[in-house]
A and B are shown apart, each in its own frame.
Chain A
Amino acid sequence: EVQLVESGGGLVRPGGSLRLSCVVSGFTFSSNDMHWVRQRPGKGLEWVSGVSTVGDTYYADSVRGRFTISRENAKSSLYLQMNSLRGEDTAVYYCTGGMSGWVYWGQGTLVTVSS
């Protein structure tokens, strides 16, 4: 059974930091590009960042310079280091991946940025 389990979400003050983690099982993590996608309250899906199987990283303009994506294949884990958080970063963050489309998804972790 494929499982993607996100953790690390919570309440943080503006300007603060959080590190999201996603532990994967049930498919070959190292063979898949992985991504973070978020959904702000009342809004649509938004791609945040991605990392290829060889470690190339990509970011949405809205988070570039503040967020850092990384992966640790030995632990089948994906990470998102989020710094300088803003109110508009409040969202449910999903871990996702797959070879032909993002077929694997976690259940999401809620990040709330508020004072």
Chain B
Amino acid sequence: QSVLTQPPSTSGTPGQRVTISCSGSSSNIGGNYVYWYQHLPGTAPNLLIHTNNQRPSGVPDRFSGSKSGTSASLAISGLRSEDEGDYYCATWDDSLRGHVFGTGTQVTVL
């Protein structure tokens, strides 16, 4: 299992705001940047957030990231049906000397 813990699932209706948490430790989130990836069925993963809270060009501002201490969060506002999929946090772990992904959160749009 991963050293980064996410809730297995979350859901919302179109237009709602959902948040996904990512809990780690001082050896990973606490001392390194956090990234968020979206993985939709049948596609390659897509970078949503880099450097804790920065959006790559082309990513809608409905997606926002934050970090505090050893935890991070991804918020999706104005939820849309095309947002259904899996979301992963990721960072470097100083103890493992490697990158780690979170356990993943499945987002369902009701």
Number of A residues, CB within 8 Å of B: 23
Given the known A-B contacts A37-B45, A50-B99, are A100 and B88 also in contact in the complex, defined by CB atoms under 8 Å? no
CA distance A39 to B101 in the complex (A): 11
A43: nearest chain-B partner, CB-CB:
B104
Number of B residues, CB within 8 Å of A: 25
CA distance A107 to B46 in the complex (A): 11
> Is B44 a contact partner of A102 (Cβ separation < 8 A)?
no
> Is B104 a contact partner of A44 (Cβ separation < 8 A)?
yes
Binding site for A on B (CB under 8 A): 2, 35, 37, 39, 44-47, 49-51, 54, 56, 86, 88, 90, 96-104
Binding site for B on A (CB under 8 A): 35, 37, 39, 44-47, 50, 58-61, 94, 96, 98, 100-103, 105-108
